[in-house]
Amino acid sequence: MKRFVLRGGSRAGIWVLLAMLMFWSLAPVAVMVFTSFKPRSDIFAVPTTLLPQTWTWDNYATVFTDSSMPRALFNSIVVGGLVAVATLIFCFSAGYALARYRFRGSRPLALVILLGQVVPLTVVLLPLYQFVSRLQLLDTTIGLAFAHLAITVPLVTWMVRNQIAAIPVELEEAAQIDGGSRFDAVTYITLPVCAPGLAAAGMFAFLQSWHEFLFASVMTSSTEARTAPVALTEFSNEFNVDWGATMAASVVLTLPIVLLFVLMQRYFVGGLTGGAVKG
Partner 1 sequence: MSVRNIPAGAVGRRRKAGHPVALIVPALLLTAVLMIVPIVTTVVRVVNDGGEGLSRLFDMPNIDTVLLNTLVWTVAAVAGGMVVGCFGALVLQSKHLRGVALWRALVMVPWIIPGVVAATIWRWTLSTDYGILNQTLLDLGVIGEPVRWLSDPDVVLWAVALIQIWVTAPFVMLMVSAALSGIPEERYEAARLDGAGGRAILWNIVLPAIRTTTGICVLTLAIWALNSFTIIYVTTSGGPAGASTILPILLYQAFQNGDQTLVYAVALVQLLIGAVFAVLFARTMRTDLEEQS
For partner 1, which is the closer residue by CB, 26 or 195? 26
**Cβ-Cβ contacts under 8 Å for 51 (sequence gap 6 or more):** 34
For partner 1, which is the closer residue by CB, 118 or 170? 118
Closest distance to partner 1 from the beta carbon of 57 (Å): 19
Closest distance to partner 1 from the beta carbon of 180 (Å): 9
Helices (H), 116-242: 121-134, 141-165, 169-177, 182-185, 191-193, 195-211, 214-219, 228-232
Q: Which residues are registered as beta bridge partners of 236?
A: 241
Closest distance to partner 1 from the beta carbon of 150 (Å): 4
Let me know: does 34 contact 54? Beta carbons within 8 Å.
Answer: no
For partner 1, which is the closer residue by CB, 176 or 223? 176
For partner 1, which is the closer residue by CB, 182 or 188? 182
Closest distance to partner 1 from the beta carbon of 116 (Å): 5
Closest distance to partner 1 from the beta carbon of 266 (Å): 10
For partner 1, which is the closer residue by CB, 141 or 151? 151
SS3 142: helix
Identify the burial level of 160 via C-beta atoms within 10 angstroms of its C-beta, where 0-12 means exposed, 13-18 middle and 19 or more buried: buried
Distance CA 23, CA 34 (A): 15
SS3 102: coil
